[in-house]
Amino acid sequence: MRLSPALSRPLERALKEKHCLIAAHRGSWGGPVLQNTLPAYALALRRGADILETDVCLSADGEMLCFHDGSEREVFGREFDIRTLPLSGVRALRPLNAYGQETGDIIPTLEETLRFALDREAFLNVDRAWDALDRVCSLLDRYPKARERCILKAPMRKARRALSFLDAHRVKYMFMPIVYTWAEVEEALEWTGVNTVGLEMIPSGPEDPLFGAEAMARVHAAGLFVWVNTLRLGERKKDRLYGDLDDFGSLENPGAGWGSLMEMGADVLQTDFADLVRAERERRYGR
């Protein structure tokens, strides 16, 4: 029998008080502020984010970097693989801002980001670290508050190694699988020693069984929260991560986009526009 989900008290309290939490995708960035940097995370909190979402990859010498590998051209203006560089080489790079100008910003390590979040009592969602959760948890183990503030996630199609590790690890950090089908939901819940507390649900469209209020109610009945990713990564159908209810479509009518998701029962919205989602939440719930 699967262990009951164990939300941390701070996260449970935040969900009850605010109804819907806001997760800032790589922080809040644009203009002079770079994605996945401490200034981006600081700006996200000022704009009303409750959760900082960060990506993690390993440098050549095993340091955990807060960087979405594959975005090197976007951030540095040239093609290369950041994972082939040691931390010292990464720190020697000069990222570009949205104006194409070099900046003095640095790519932070996960420990630097973790300390930033814990110092501000923010929640931290760690993404893209599914092949290095042993290293991630070794770091988190040194910070007692990490158990209350960190949510690990991985797509079920790539999560077997991560699930095996979490199943055996003595500290039951909060985990959220990314699921595309109900079969993946059922598979995730078979891991009895993993503290699965929520699901990031990515339906193929409005006709998908994972889409809508009924699907969210089914997840809630299992004692889990629902995380919806409202990013629009491009113009293809698969680039819209929750049907047509996304950031771009919500700009003109927030109530019909983000508001509809709140009404359906979404507990967390991951967004590039934390301040606008906060305004819609305040309109609906007064907080």
Asked whether residue 118 carries a pLDDT value surpassing 80, the answer given is yes
Asked whether residue 194 carries a pLDDT value surpassing 90, the answer given is yes
Taking phi over 0 as left and psi of -120 to 50 as alpha, with beta for the rest, 78 belongs to beta
153 falls in which pLDDT band (50, 70, 90)? very high
- Sequential DSSP letters for 8-67: -HHHHHHHHHHSSEEEEETSS-BTTBPTTSHHHHHHHHHTT-SEEEEE-EE-TTS-EE--
**Cβ neighbours of 215 (radius 10 Å):** 20
Read off the tokens for 281.
């939440």
Q: Residue 233 has what pLDDT?
A: 84
User: Region 143-160: what's the mean pLDDT?
Assistant: 97
Per-residue CA distances from 278 to 21, 41, 192 (Å): 9, 16, 35
Domains and CATH numbers, the chain: 9-68+111-285 (3.20.20.190)
pLDDT in tens, 39-86: 999 999 999 999 999 999 999 999 999 999 999 999 999 999 999 999
User: Region 24-31: what's the mean pLDDT?
Assistant: 96
Q: Residue 3 has what pLDDT?
A: 54
Percent of the chain at pLDDT > 70 equals 99
Sequence-separated (6 or more) residues with CB below 8 Å from residue 49: 22, 23, 24, 27, 28, 122, 274, 278
Asked whether residue 4 carries a pLDDT value surpassing 70, the answer given is no
Calculate the average pLDDT of the chain. Answer: 95
User: Region 111-118: what's the mean pLDDT?
Assistant: 98
- 188 phi/psi in degrees, rounded to 5: -60, -40
E-assigned strands of 239-282?
Answer: 241-244, 268-271
Question: Residue 209, CB half-sphere, CA atoms under 13 Å: how many?
Answer: 9
Q: Residue 244 has what pLDDT?
A: 86
1 falls in which pLDDT band (50, 70, 90)? very low
> Residues 52, 125: contact at Cβ < 8 Å?
yes
